[in-house]
Amino acid sequence: MHVVDAIPRIRHRTFDALELDCGRTLSPVTIEYETYGKLNAAKDNAILLLHALSGSAHAAFTNDRGEHGWWEDFIGPGRALDTDRYFVICSNVLGGCSGSSGPGSVDPTTGRPYGLNFPVITVGDMVRAQKHLVAHLGIETLLSVIGGSLGGMQALQWAVDYPNLVQSIVVLAAAKRLSAQAIAFNEVGRQAIMSDPHWCQGDYYGRTPPDAGLALARMIGHITYLSEEAMHEKFGRALKQTNSYHYSFSEDFEVASYLHYKGNKFVERFDANSYLYITKAMDYFDLPDLSSIKAKLLIISFSSDWLFPPVQQRALVRSLRRRNKDVTYCEVQSWRGHDAFLLEVESLTELISGFLDNVSR
Amino acid sequence: MQRYDQDIIAGLIPAGSRVLDLGCGNGDLLLKLKRGGVTDVRGVEINDRCIAACVRKGLTVFHGDIDEGLSDYDDGSFDYIVLNQTLQVVHKPTLVINEMLRVGNRAIVSFPNFGHFKIRWHLLSKGQMPKADFLPRDWYDTPNIHLSTISDFEVFCGMRHIMIERIIGLRSCETGKTAKYFQNLLSQVGIFVIKSKREI
């Protein structure tokens, strides 16, 4: 009987207007979302799951187009987010390019895609849009808000902005503000896109998109998602085809070929302007005041994550503890770098299922 | 297995106290406290598997190394800081005790008592590093690097102007019997309730 409920339901929710932190109003606003499991009669078993920079609403299962859910090993009957017990909602972020309003959406005032006319958004705006969605679903309290990286930032923002709605949050590989190093990488990624002659000030819709720039941005990003050890484990100095060097600037090494592959795959599904807007929202993320939080918190870091290193999570936990918040912290031992939040299934399942079990009691 | 050391420590802490357990392991003591009405309890633990076990029990725990001190915590932010059977494995006992007395109004410290007669007899009769049922590991295979006796800890406190409020000598962790006299000779475990003299 649960199999039917487990099939993702893809939906859109469009609402009239959203006031943004930049002072502008976006109208209309569409949020694409998927849900897994069933909302109970008391409507108290809902979990909001939030994706990272390049994610989408498609978190669980492999869909009919063969696309894997970005957290599919964690969602389903008996898994960390047990769909026999919980109702899981995952939405595409505002500014994204997988169904939610973003720079590629049509501007109703011109009838053409927004491009750079799309307002600059923040993590706070993303969360406010999700709040509309949650209210639309008739949910008054969220059992938990869970996310990694940018998703973890959104989870923190949820706990700060809507303390009475959020019973608990799980923050993976994120911090209370984006570090200078991460801003630097974002800036280089954006410059890669904006230097592409096809970018045309963001007005490339219907023409050749800035694929080379976006692929380069993704390659840079990928380096920051892996650890030195992960690269060594996966590729080492392995050569792509032959056992000898080409003595040319072709892709001699496996690691180079992998990055090119990742970059080229990425441009098939992602919009360069969305990359600009979402990374900029990450840059602006800074939560100096955590005092409003009422949620129970589980903060998780990964030992080899150098994009959001454990020292940042410990700083977050310290400020929460100083304010006497109910915060649990665990540093998961992993060689997989920042991407560990997508890959360390066993240890994360143990932590998250144990945590949710107690929150839902 | 019944853990009488935990029962005794839990019995020393009044309901409503704020408690921090250093080296809380699987969280058994914290859970016991919680069930006994001491609800504001937290733990610090270095082992990530233990952290997961604590999370499953619904406990609030911090994954960290107590040898790095308790700088995250303000002075007097807890009523009791517990260090149960952990003193002997820390690298910096003085730092840890000082930090406990700074952050907590009282500290409860327990450790295996190396002054127990079986330990003394083992060394005297065999001339080898003592082992006993409560200290079963070989010298090359033990995490214990700072073993001490009840008497040692009294001297330690005396030298540092630490007030000893109470000493409980546990003769056996399995039976829960305590020693009224000759505590240093008869106890397998010493449990101290200590407090900083600075408030006086």
Both A200 and A245 in one domain: the answer is yes
pLDDT tens sequence across A125-154: 999 999 999 999 999 999 999 999 999 999
pLDDT band at A6 (very low <50, low <70, confident <90, very high): very low
State residue A45's pLDDT score: 97
Q: Which residues of A touch B59 (CB under 8 A)?
A: 328
Tokens found for residue A160: 């700060």
- H or E segment and range at residue B183: helix B183-186
Q: Which residues of B touch A358 (CB under 8 A)?
A: 55-58
pLDDT tens sequence across B139-196: 999 999 999 999 999 999 999 999 999 999 999 878 889 999 999 999 999 999 999 9
Tokens found for residue A60: 């669980």
The whole-angstrom separation of Cα B21 and Cα B38 is 12
- Given A281, A307, A334, the domain boundary residue is A281
Across chain A, mean pLDDT equals 95
pLDDT tens sequence across A38-89: 999 999 999 999 999 999 999 998 887 888 999 999 999 999 999 999 999 9
Q: Does a structural domain hold residue B138? A: no
Q: Verify whether the Cβ–Cβ distance A329 to B59 is below 8 Å.
A: no
ipTM of this complex: 0.90
B33-53 average pLDDT score: 95
The whole-angstrom separation of Cα A312 and Cα A146 is 18
State residue A1's pLDDT score: 32
At what angle are helices A150-161 and A123-136 packed, to 10 degrees?
A: 70
At A212, which CATH number? Answer: 1.10.1740.110
Both A291 and A160 in one domain: the answer is yes
Both A170 and A292 in one domain: the answer is yes
B120-124 average pLDDT score: 96
Q: Does a structural domain hold residue B12? A: yes
Higher-scoring residue by pLDDT: A25, B200: A25
Q: DSSP secondary-structure letter at A235?
A: T
State residue B85's pLDDT score: 92
Q: Does a structural domain hold residue B122? A: no
Upper half-sphere CA count for residue B43 (Cβ side, 13 Å): 31
**Of the partner residues B52, B62, B74, the one whose CB lies closest to the CB of residue A317:** B62
Q: Does a structural domain hold residue B97? A: yes
Q: Verify whether the Cβ–Cβ distance B56 to A327 is below 8 Å.
A: no
Report whether pLDDT(B74) > 80: yes
- Cα distances (Å, whole numbers) of residue A329 to A39, A355, B30, B41, B52: 29, 11, 16, 15, 10
State residue A240's pLDDT score: 85
pLDDT tens sequence across A261-291: 999 999 999 999 999 999 999 999 999 999 9
CA distance B192 to chain A (A): 27
Task: Give percent of chain A with pLDDT exceeding 90.
Answer: 89
Both A125 and A229 in one domain: the answer is no
State residue B61's pLDDT score: 96
pLDDT band at A7 (very low <50, low <70, confident <90, very high): low
Both A136 and A67 in one domain: the answer is yes
Q: Which amino acid does the sequence have at B115?
A: G
At B109, which CATH number? Answer: 3.40.50.150
Q: Which candidate, B49, B3, B1, places its Cα nearest to that of B191?
A: B3
The whole-angstrom separation of Cα A18 and Cα A9 is 24
Q: Give how many domains chain A has, as a whole number.
A: 2
**Of the partner residues B48, B59, B72, the one whose CB lies closest to the CB of residue A331:** B48
Q: Give how many domains chain B has, as a whole number.
A: 1
Q: Which candidate, A22, A19, A343, A312, places its Cα nearest to that of A156?
A: A312
Helix ranges (H only) for chain A are 2-6, 123-136, 150-161, 180-194, 211-225, 228-234, 254-269, 272-284, 310-322, 340-343, 345-359
Higher-scoring residue by pLDDT: B144, A5: B144
pLDDT band at A3 (very low <50, low <70, confident <90, very high): very low
Q: How much of chain A is helix, strand and coil, in % rounded to 5?
A: 40, 20, 45
CA distance A312 to chain B (A): 14
The whole-angstrom separation of Cα A158 and Cα A173 is 16
Tokens found for residue A235: 């590729």
Point out the residues of A that are catalytic.
149, 305, 338
At A347, which CATH number? Answer: 3.40.50.1820
Across chain B, mean pLDDT equals 94
Q: Does a structural domain hold residue B68? A: yes
State residue B199's pLDDT score: 56
**Of the partner residues B48, B55, B64, the one whose CB lies closest to the CB of residue A355:** B55
Q: Does a structural domain hold residue B131? A: no
Question: Which residue range forms the structural domain that includes residue A222?
Answer: 182-281
* Mutant choice from B26, B48, B70 vs A, greatest count of A C-beta within 10 A: B48
Q: How much of chain B is helix, strand and coil, in % rounded to 5?
A: 35, 25, 35
Both A244 and A189 in one domain: the answer is yes
Q: Does a structural domain hold residue B155? A: yes
Q: Which residues of A touch B58 (CB under 8 A)?
A: 357-358, 361
- Is residue B155 within 8 angstroms of chain A, CB to CB? no
Q: Verify whether the Cβ–Cβ distance A330 to B52 is below 8 Å.
A: yes
Supply the Cα-derived Rg of chain A in whole angstroms: 20
Both A72 and A192 in one domain: the answer is no
- Is residue A171 within 8 angstroms of chain B, CB to CB? no
The SS3 call for residue A75 is strand
pLDDT band at A242 (very low <50, low <70, confident <90, very high): confident
Question: Which residue range forms the structural domain that includes residue B8?
Answer: 4-114+145-195
State residue B173's pLDDT score: 79
- Is residue A330 within 8 angstroms of chain B, CB to CB? yes
**How many residue contacts between A and B have a Cβ separation below 8 Å?**
55
The pairs formed by B156-162 with CB atoms below 8 angstroms and a separation of 24 or more are: B156/B97, B157/B192, B157/B194, B160/B94, B160/B97, B160/B98, B161/B197, B162/B97, B162/B101, B162/B194, B162/B195, B162/B196, B162/B197
Q: Which residues of A touch B54 (CB under 8 A)?
A: 328
Q: Does a structural domain hold residue B121? A: no
Q: Which residues of A touch B74 (CB under 8 A)?
A: 322
The residue in chain B having the minimum alpha-carbon distance to the alpha carbon of residue A299 is B62
pLDDT tens sequence across A175-217: 999 999 999 999 999 999 999 999 999 999 999 999 999 999 9
